Every structure is written in C-alpha cells, then in structure tokens.
Amino acid sequence: MSGLSAEAGERKLLGAYDLHVHTNMSDGDLALEEVVAIAAERGVTLGISDHMSTRNPARMVATEAQLRRYLEAVSAAPVFLAGEFCWCDSFPTHMPAELLDQLDYRIGSNHGFALPDGTMGSPWWDTLPAPWTDRAQEVMEHMVANLCDLVRDMPVDIIAHSTFMPAAFLTTDPDPDVWWTEEREDRYVEALASSTVALEISNRYRLPHDRVLRKAKQAGVRFSLGSDGHTREQVAQLGWAVETATRIGITDADLFVPEQRR
C-alpha cells in the first residue's frame, strides 16, 4: 500500500482524514476489514490507532507478540498505521524501538494522571474518592499539569480528547469555564505551542470547547480530527468536528497530516 499522504495535495483535507479509529484488535467492535469498508463508503481516509497499553491486556495491544501481529495486519490495509498510548502506562518503554518506529504517528491520551499522594486520577471518575472528595479544583489542577507534561514530554504526534473532564466535576458544576479557567487554558495552549503535538478535535466527545480552540489556533497549534470510532455508527463520522473547525477558522494549513513511513 502506498500513496496515502500524496492524496493531501489533491483534495480538501478538513474532514478527509479520521486519524483516531479503533478495531477489535483493542476495544473496538469491528474487525479491521469492516472499518476499512465503512470508511470507504463514507469517503474518509483512516488512521487505525488501537490502544497500546498494559492496563487492560484483554482489550488492548499489550505484548510484543500482539504488537507484531497488529503491525502486520494494519500495514497490509489502505490506512495509516498508528497507535494510541496511555500517559499513565509504560508500554512504549518495553517495546523494541524498531517496532514502534513502524507507526506513521502516535496518539497520546490522558487515561489516567498522577496525583501527589502517589495515586492515579481518572478522567472517567463519576465520584471523587477519598482524600479528594471535597477537593475537585485541586484534582483539576493536577489533571491540567499532567496534560502539559504529556504534550511536552511524551513522544506523540496527537493528543486525543484532552479536555475531557470527570463526570464528578460536571455533577458539581456543569459549566466548563468553572474548571477550564482561562489561566489553565493559557498554560495548556502554551505547552501545546511549545511542542509539535497536534490537538485533536474529537467528534465522539464534542471537544475541545471553542475558547481553547481559538487560543490554540492563534498560537499556531496544529489540529487533527478524530472520530475515536469504536462502533459502526462512530467510524469515519466527523460532522461535528468539521463544523467546529470551520467555525473556529481552522483550515487545511492548520492540520496535522501524517506521512506514511513504510
């Protein structure tokens, strides 16, 4: 397979690339062949980016043998070859560099973040555990600090669904501005701008919110669009992401487009 990136000069890029898609090689519902067929029907070029982590070996690419099988399968398909890595997991440090170097790009995700008491916080917390039960703003502060560290230090090309917040926060106050204050946004955008990491506009989670995107655009941050598709209904669906990017004034020139390494 060849020539994926060459298409960039021949068609509009915004909405043409879904760079965050999962198959049943991790926690997606569909086989690779089904995902490719759906994307072809919808006229979208895919980046397959299954989860690579030891956090859930039954549902993620968690061993060298699984990684080798994944690379062989995806490299034979008409897609970009990628992987989604957890900020809270050391999987990449245990894998041979010559295998990871076959990826066209890497996605980093905040599936867990370090807290100063040595525990891990979760963006999917429905309730805050002790001793953080009444310290939601402190948890938010640590989450933002972890995001800044991720984009500065993690060897990735895209950060996915990065402004996602625990339901525990939104139950307390549903206004995102209470949590994503302008000062926190500015710190995060500064970290993005000082790195080469692209900010994903997530069709699945409908984020980031406009103010972050406008600041990132002004700071020269690059963007990617991703469905984070796990199901037939989600894969290659970028309508909200395209509409949002257009509203913010993001153009083809602002997008991260991967190069095919193989």
One-letter identity of residue 5 = S
Give CA–CA dist 235/202, Å, rounded: 12
The predicted-structure confidence for 78-97, as pLDDT tens digits, reads as follows 999 999 999 999 999 999 99
What is the value of pTM for the model shown? 0.94
**Spatial separation of the C-alpha atoms in residues 194 and 243, rounded to whole Å:** 27
- The number of folded domains in the chain is 1
In a domain, 261, yes or no: no
Q: Would you say 82 and 103 are in contact if contact means Cβ atoms under 8 Å apart?
A: yes
User: What letter represents residue 210's amino acid?
Assistant: D
Beta bridge partners of 18: 46
**Cβ atoms of residues 231 and 30 within 8 Å:** yes
- Domain membership of residue 260 (yes or no) is no
Is there a domain that residue 259 lies in? no
In a domain, 43, yes or no: yes
Range of the domain at 138: 5-254
Is residue 218 situated within a structural domain? yes
Residues in the chain, pLDDT under 50: 1-3, 6, 8
Distance CA 25, CA 60 (A): 7
Q: What is the pLDDT of residue 250?
A: 98
User: Is residue 262 situated within a structural domain?
Assistant: no
**Domain-located, residue 17:** yes
pLDDT for position 11: 63
Q: What is the CATH number of the domain that holds 29?
A: 3.20.20.140
Structural domain contains residue 84: yes
pLDDT of the residue at 2: 38
pLDDT of residue 181: 98
Residues β-bridged to residue 86: 109
Buried b (16+ CB within 10 A) or exposed e, 1-39: eeebbeebeeeebbbbbbbbbbbebbebbbebeebbebb
pLDDT of 31: 98
